[in-house]
Structure 1
Amino acid sequence: MIEIDGLTRRYGRTTAVDHLSLTVRPGHVTGFLGPNGAGKSTTLRMILGLTTPTSGTVTVSGVRFRDLPRGLRHAGALLDAGDVHGGRSARAHLAALARSNGISVGRVDEVLRQVGLESAAGRRVGGFSLGMRQRLGIAAALLGDPPVLLFDEPFNGLDPEGVRWVRKLFRRLAAEGRTVFVSSHLMGEMEHCADHLVVIGRGRLIAEESLAEFAARAGRSEVVVRTPDPASLGTTLTTEGASVRPDPDGTLAVTGLTAERIAELALGLRIPLHELTTRTASLEEAFMALTAADVEYATGEDR
């Protein structure tokens, strides 16, 4: 478990993290979201003791990470896939981490197999692609078999097979009872692998809730209707107080009435329905709606 209480980090007049309090619990894949400059990377670094808070506290399993002996046994992290000496082989890099944390060197080949880098174990990291470096970073995070895992942008550079593998890995780790905290800008991937979300903006907490609860925050739910007589049905639905928008594919997007009520009205008019689907806001739509005021670098189109 990761517990953050009143965490603040200032750089001169700039506040990167502002009195942030939250709990990341085991058994979940918790997504960590926020616009650029929201303070996500700074928060992750403070969790691991790499950046000192201006005020507030953060603990891993009840203890400050920097006070834990052999840290990789308690928490594993991928913060920067490029932060590896390019002249070392993958095996040598992991072996050095293992020795410094009292981990059996035999564990090195286990995690290399787990991430699919067994055949590249003897190659220098400087020749690795970004996707291979990401896999190596994940191997390093798994090296101590820790109960807490943190990942910053782990999907970058991975091919579709790699993305799917990472999704399954995160879900499996959470199912084993571990704390899995994942920061990413890729909303589609977070929607597929996270079941809980923490969202921050300008260093402050915006939301800490389940994925479903967060998506519902956008307040947008509409019913997609396909019918051979859209004009007649659309007129009736508008009369009933609904907002009706014809879409380019010939469907009607209806808000203000439930699917059940639309079906009743269509039945009364003997208008056949070929599709009647309730569509809720996506994670991306909910995120954009709720963080609009916290975007640091907005384009003209975003205003």
Structure 2
Amino acid sequence: MHGMIELDGLTRRYGRTTAVDGLTLTVRPGRVTGFLGPNGAGKSTTLRMVLGLTTPTSGTVTVAGVRFRDLARGLRHAGALLDAGDVHAGRSARAHLTALARGNGIGSRRADEVLGLVGLDDAANRRVGRFSLGMRQRLGIAAALLGDPPVLMFDEPFNGLDPEGVRWVRELFRRLAAEGRTVFVSSHLMGEVEHCADHLVVIGRGRLIADESLNDFAARAGRAEVVLRTPESAALTSALVDVGADVRPDADGALAVSGVDAERIGDLALGLRIPLHQLTTRTASLEEAFMALTAADVEYAARRTR
């Protein structure tokens, strides 16, 4: 069960607008890859091209080395949740999944299996039109899992889920990746991506900005800082400045220090017999890193009020 998503110079234009601009990257199995970008960055268009729903203007995209539209019984090769609302409201959850299974050569029993997996056993015979958004999301995830595929893609899978549902989705994605599957997750909820992704692909205005591990992405967005507390802040600040550190006030009387690491600060304070009540290293969050690296690629930026 191995499948990679490979993009090579993938481009999509709509008239004078370039939605996706020469994307080249590989989404690998065995890890959760977060797919991030500001609104209008081209994420949904990219996912649609992977699935053959939108035709590239130029470039190629393959799933396990083959164009998705050339794969017979596609749900056995790749499953996707792109729009949780794209379901016939008058059908029951079981009927919806059974129809998908039949069209892909999958036994009807599998529909009940995935309904159980996503926690919709008791709602299997209810009409989808009466489902909440969170229940529709679960049904969409069930449809993606229907063919037990090696490649899975999810667009905004956390929308409408309660905290228990969000935790369940995180754990599901990690488990699927641990089974050797390729898991590609697009979301604007940075905190949720931070909790489940191992790797990040970030685009802006259709172009690749980053393709690296979560830790590497956060690290290059800004310098790590050391937060410390001491009853002798003036003396320690002076000593830190003397060794080239940058020191600024932080919350609740603490100091934020950059330019030297925590070990050096601890040794310096010990030599001067200055007590330390806190000494911790703080790195940029995923949201802070994302905002810093995509600031120039935001299509609709709010004006600052004076």
Take 1:96 and 1:235, find their aligned partners in 2: how far apart are those partners? Answer: 72
Report the Cα distance in structure 2 between the residues aligned to 1:159 and 1:234, rounded to whole angstroms: 45
1:186 maps to 2:223? no
Which stretch of the first structure deviates more once superposed, 185-194 or 210-219?
210-219
Give the secondary-structure state (helix, strand or coil) at the position aligned to 1:150.
Answer: strand
Task: After superposing the two structures, state which structure 1 stretch, 229-238 or 148-157, moved more.
Answer: 229-238
1:20 corresponds to 2:23: yes
Q: Given the alignment, which residue of 203, 208, 224 partners 2:206?
A: 203
Distance in 2 between the 1:5 and 1:301 partners?
39
CA RMSD of aligned residues (A): 1.0
Query: How far apart, in 2, do the equivalents of 1:226 and 1:12 lie?
Result: 57
How far, CA to CA, are the matches of 1:4 and 1:139 in structure 2? 26
1:9 aligns with 2:16: no
Are positions 1:101 and 2:110 aligned together? no
What is the number of residues matched between the two proteins?
302
Residues 1:57 and 2:60 are matched in the alignment: yes
> Which runs of structure 2 are paired with 1:148-159 in the superposition (5 Å)?
148-159=151-162
Measured after TM superposition, the shift of residue 248 of structure 1 is 2.7
**Please, which moves more after superposition, 22-31 or 219-228?**
219-228
Separation in 2, partners of 1:239, 1:208? 38
Structure 2 residues without counterparts, runs of 5 or longer: none
Which residue pairs with 1:38 in the alignment? 41
Deviation at 1:247, TM superposition (A): 1.7
Once the two structures are TM-superposed, the CA of residue 229 in structure 1 deviates from its matched residue by: 1.8
Matches within 5 A, 1:127-276: 127-276=130-279
Following the alignment from structure 1 to structure 2, what is the Cα–Cα distance between the partners of residues 93 and 248?
53
Shift of 1:219: 2.8
Q: Deviations over 1:108-151 (max 9, x none)?
A: 11000000000000101111111000000000000000000000
User: Post-superposition shift, 1:181?
Assistant: 0.3
Q: Which amino acid aligns with 2:33?
A: T
Q: Which amino acid aligns with 1:42?
A: T
SS of residue paired to 2:171: helix
SS of the residue aligned with 2:142? helix
Alignment partners' CA distance in 1, 2:275 and 2:158 = 45
1:120 aligns with 2:123: yes
Percentage identity across paired residues of the two chains: 83
Per the TM alignment, residue 242 of structure 1 is displaced from its structure 2 partner at its CA by: 1.4
Deviation for aligned residue 1:21: 0.6
Deviates more, 1:270-279 or 1:134-143: 270-279
Q: TM-score, normalised by structure 2?
A: 0.97
Query: 1:231 offset after TM fit, Å?
Result: 2.1
Q: 1:240 Cα deviation (Å)?
A: 2.3
**TM superposition shift of 1:173:** 0.4
Matched position secondary structure for 1:300: coil
Is structure 2 residue 88 aligned with structure 1 residue 74? no
1:241-299 residue CA offsets vs partner (Å, 9 max, x unmatched) = 21111123121101111111111211122111111111111111111111111110011
**How many angstroms does 1:52 deviate by?**
0.5
Structure 1: which 5+ runs fail to align? Answer: none
Which whole-Å CA distance do the structure 1 matches of 2:128 and 2:234 have between them? 63
Query: Quick one: distance in 2 between partners of 1:142 and 1:272?
Result: 56
Residue identity in the other structure for 1:74: H
Q: CA deviation at 1:223?
A: 0.3
Residue of structure 2 equivalent to 1:277? 280
Q: Match of 2:303, as an amino acid?
A: G
